Every structure is written in C-alpha cells, then in structure tokens.
Amino acid sequence: MTMNLQAVTEAMVKAGASDLHLVAGHQPMMRLATVMTALEFPILTEQDCQDALLQMASVKHQAHFEEVQDVDFSYEILGLARFRVNAHKQRQTIAIAMRAIKETIPAFETLNLPEIVGQLTCLPRGLVLVTGDTGSGKSTTLAGMIQKINQRDAKHIITLEDPVEYKLKSDKCIIEQRELGEDVPGFASGLRHVLRQDPDIILVGEMRDLETTSAAITAAETGHLVFSTLHTVNASQTVERVVDMYPADQQNQIRSMLANTLQAVVSQTLFRRLDQSGMVPAVEVMLCTPAVRNLIRENRAFEIPNVIETNRALGMVTLDNAIATLYFNGMITREDAVAQAAYPDKLERMLAA
C-alpha cells in the first residue's frame, strides 16, 4: 500500500505541526512544538518517498535533484497549506523535509515581538538583519514586518526568496516576489539587477555567501531599506559572521561599510509556551547607535553585549534579558530558559533573584 501524501499532510497540518519528515524505514514524523512525533501511518518505503517527490516537484526541480541530489522548492495543496520542501539523499534513498507555511501572515501584533522591531519598518534606508537558528521564526517575523509596511506606506517592495514562502498581497504597496530557480538564477544575480527595478525596500531571503552579502550591503548603501537573514544567534556573532565572509585584506573596509549601513540586528530563539499551546520568541535587539558603529569599525564586536545591556531605554535588549522576561511572565519553563541562555550561570542567578 502506497503512502497517501494528501492524508499525511492533512494530519500534520491538523495537529498544528511545523515540519513533516518522510524517511524510508520510518513512519512519517512531524515536529510538534519542537518534539519529533510519529504520525499514525505505515512505515515508509523507498518507493513512497520517490513517489512523494515526483508528486510534488516540477520537472525542472526533479532534474536538479538528479544532478546534485538535493533540491529546495515550494509546494501547495489547495485548501490546505503551502510547504517549503527540501528533498535530499540519505543512505542512497530519497528523504524529504517539509516546512508548513501559514496561508495568512500573522498580524505583527500577535508575534510577541518587542515594539522596537515594529519601529524598524519606518527606517528610510539601511540594512536590517533578522537572525536565528533554522526554525526560529525569521521568515514569519520578516513577513510580518513587510505586511506592516504594506498596510501603512505606498512603497515598491521586491523580495528574493528560495523558495517564496508567504504569498504577500499588495495593499498600499506594490509587492513583487521573485523565486530562485524560477524567476531569478540566484540571490546575487537578482540583487545586481534589482536596483534598476526602482525598489524602495528589498528583502533578501538569506545572505548565504560573499557575493550576496556584498550586493545586499551595496543596495543598502545606495539608499534602499534592505531586510535579510543569517543563521547566527546574537548580534555580536552576526557582525563577526558578515566580516568573516570577506578575505582578510578586505575586512577593514567591510567593517567600515557595515558600520555605515547596518541599522539593527534582531536575533530570535523560539521556546515552547508553558501558558498555552504554541511557541514564543525571545528576541535580542541591537540598534546601531554611534557607540555600536564605533565598535564595528574598531573590530570590537565582542563588546556589543555591554552596549546593548546599557541602552535598554532605547529599546535594546539582550537575549538573556528577553528570556528572563518570558520566564517571569509565566510563558516558559526555568529549564528551557537556562538551556537556551547565552550565559546560563548568570541567568540562573537572575531568575533566582
């Protein structure tokens, strides 16, 4: 009996899971509030996984998979959900990971983000980075920020995504969404041409390499507001990661460029909620004040946490203070709080005070 992909995805969506994993030799598995849980379906065969890929992937994506044994694409089941899909090989068999994407963008006010994050949508220019581990809600935060702009301002927004996740509908803004492999060959290529398309705001799905990072910073330098993501866990690490992408002989120059263009870093860590079902983010926020810009220029990013700590009045917050607030508000457990802290011993003392 072959797997019924529709039935499996319906069960996963109904349960409220974030991810679905199809791996030969296992039952379909879903990630429910961070925990891997088996769905009540038969163990999958190699053929089940192959059939699922053929059912979801276009001919173009199938050809790409045959060539490199790995492919990303989006897949939609009408009336149910859209998914960000990755197909890959493990033990010479196909395995598939599917991330559910909500059809409607959650209202910004429901995302439990600090008020200052909403204020970043009013910036006229510069680079804003939303960072965090895979699955930390970066895409949802960015979609919420773009939607906030869309409801307020008459702007031209262009996104470059791999793949397109939330489908953004033009309201006061005109929004163009370009998908890698379908509308544009790559982030860097898309960024090279986007400046000729008269955008006010550019969203780059991920600054994943030097060419893309350089193009994003250049776009921010030329007077555009640029949003993007990185897989880093805090502001100081984000600055160091961007600089480290460049050859050693260019790093002083990029520190100067980054100090001039970076406006803020928003770093997210997701927690399972204690007070109700679902997840809640702890959010570190760094704003690029003159003091922060000097630290970036002078290669002293390790001092950024101290500046964040002493500028709470501006809306800055460290990850550990954000975690402590969630704990004191009864939203997360003490164990989870300490486990995700940047400085566990220090947070333990803070929670015991």
Q: Please indicate whether the domains covering 5-101 and 108-352 agree at the CATH topology level.
A: no
Beta carbons within 8 Å of 263's beta carbon, 6+ residues apart: 120, 123, 126, 127, 128, 287, 288
- Closest to 176 measured CA to CA, from 192, 152, 200: 200
Tell me if 219 sits within 8 A of 202, measured CB to CB. yes
Residue 33: what pLDDT?
Answer: 80
113 DSSP assignment: -
Give the integer Cα–Cα distance in Å for 132 and 215.
21
The total number of residues written for the chain in this structure: 353
Residue 218: what pLDDT?
Answer: 94
Digit-coded pLDDT (tens) for 298-310 = 999 999 999 999 9
DSSP per-residue string spanning 203-265: EES---SHHHHHHHHHHHHTT-EEEEEES-SSHHHHHHHHHHTS-GGGHHHHHHHHHHHEEEE
Digit-coded pLDDT (tens) for 231-245 = 999 999 999 999 999
Give the integer Cα–Cα distance in Å for 258 and 239.
8
Radius of gyration of the chain (CA): 21
Tell me if 221 sits within 8 A of 245, measured CB to CB. no
Give the integer Cα–Cα distance in Å for 331 and 310.
25
Residue 106: what pLDDT?
Answer: 87
Neighbours of 162 (CB within 10 A): 22
Residue 1: what pLDDT?
Answer: 56
Where exactly are the structural domains of the chain? 5-101, 108-352
Q: Which residues of the chain have pLDDT under 70?
A: 1
Give the integer Cα–Cα distance in Å for 336 and 269.
11
In CATH, which superfamily holds the domain spanning 108-352? P-loop containing nucleotide triphosphate hydrolases (3.40.50.300)
Q: Please provide the CATH number assigned to the domain covering 5-101.
A: 3.30.450.90
- Closest to 12 measured CA to CA, from 73, 98, 106: 98
